Structure 1
Amino acid sequence: MSILGPLVAYLPTPRGSEGEVRTEPLEDLADRAIRAGASGIAVLGSTGGYPYLTPAERRLTVEAAVAAADGRVPVVAGVGAFTTDEVVVHTIVAERAGAAAVLLPTLAYLRLTDDEVIGLVEDVADAAQVPVWLYHNPVTTSFRYEVDTLVRAARVPGVGGVKDRGSDATELDARIRALVAQVPATVEVGCSGDVFGADGLLAGARTWHSGLASVLPAWYVAVATAAADGRADEARALMTRLAPVAELVVSLGGPRAVHAVARLTGVDAGVLPAPLRPVDGAGVTALAVALDALGDTPAL
């Protein structure tokens, strides 16, 4: 049985002009995603800007998301940090704040070895009281999980899922099929990326983890629902319409572009933490054109 369901929306962390975390718009983002049909929400992922937050701000963010979810869907909390001790502390705090699972990226200044990553997974899973999700994101962490290493990590007791990605639909399809065939049945195979997630679901993944779903939740729910139900033609047709927006978001820098999409759609996502800067005028114009061409949200 799927723990998280077909779509987890990864929320940005709204900040005010002084850099403070603003819980009201965060709760609104969470509620909006849940009402649109997201089967889970996540905070403190890449879209949430976890490296830019203090421990106290992280705790506040998880507490606000859990309060907004109010038991309707599970809340996943990112726990990435440079040292194992920090990750364990973030894990304990997230658990106490009500997170249903924690997301473990391979954050490091020096590129980690396979054995170091396995050691990190073992230490965190041993300390955790909730399932640990393994996060493969070589773009931001510089560590690439080969399938064999990810399978090895997924077999660590306490691991509840993997969030994998591929450079294109073909690679993602192959990775998901290999993982589904090799990881324990208790481990939920998921995929990330705003562009190829439907392909991952059609290949056998049970969950699509998406940052853009936080500001376009109804669209992503429609695609994920069709893909999870095996309606491949419908899922791909919907994704063809959504792809110009998703591809622009990737090219403009995911978290920055998610904030820009939020502004264009009238959603309060706050400001970016310095030194990050908003998408420039040309990028905003391109996003506005793509969103206009996208048209009305499809009916479920």
Structure 2
Amino acid sequence: MAIFKDHTINVKQLLGFIPEALITNLSVTTRIDHYAKVLHGNKLFYLLLYGILDNEKLSQRTLEDTFNDSVFKILFNLDEDETVRRSSISERLSKVDPDYFKQIYECIYEQFAELYALTERKKYNLIRVDSSMVSETTSKLLEGIDNKSGKKAVKYSIAFDGVLPCHSNVFTKPTYGSEDIALPEAIMEHVKKEGDHQNIYVMDRGLQSTKTMQAFSAGQVTFICRAKENRKFVELGSLVTEGQDTDLGESKLIRDCKVQLYKGTPVNNKQEISIIDTN
């Protein structure tokens, strides 16, 4: 990311990457302008984009001030008489289809990715996947993961390629409180988007399901995860060759081997194990 440290870009240049035809088409397909009187989809998008770039802390109050500012209206060719109140912004945001913004972002991301040659893209095949839980009082969220404490939580799972987020999921059902359910779904959705992918997905300790690891291996999804220290396994053979240099600079290679992992569920027969090739 250091190569982008001193780069600057203004709003007009940024909007130049977003085809106006795309925004117009999305307004129809997502019905984002249904019943909207002032804050049409394109205006709301411009407002959020400009508000994020122009304010250190974004709020409905700052968005109201931004929309009513003459500079904003001149920049985006809006009618000088157009005004909006904070309550209108709040209501609009509560009902808007988020897929409208997601499709705009994915369009920009695809354009950005196409600027890289195949050899350059390989630098960004290491995809880091992680999740964050954001909680809010139950009165402010219509749906979410209820933790019985007067709050509901929403889980955001993001895949990051080293430059930009390349995939995202928003989970609100209680079952997705487990990373063993949320992370695999996020990863498989990204795999389906990229045909003949060569990605390596990196996770922390969130993924521990042997069944999921087996499914990843069967689907040729290469991944790296951090297993629990007391994980039960049977070593099938070492992958370290005689005379191999095990000095990795900041780290030292202690062991590299092919193993069988036991399932996490209790079984009577120890032969019932899942085979995972960790090579």
User: Same fold, TM exceeding 0.5?
Assistant: no
Taking structure 2 as the reference length, what is the TM-score of the superposition? 0.29
Q: Per residue, is there more helix in 1 or in 2?
A: 1
Q: Per residue, is there more strand in 1 or in 2?
A: 2
* Highest RCO, 1 vs 2 (Cα 8 Å, sep ≥ 6): 1
Larger radius of gyration: 2
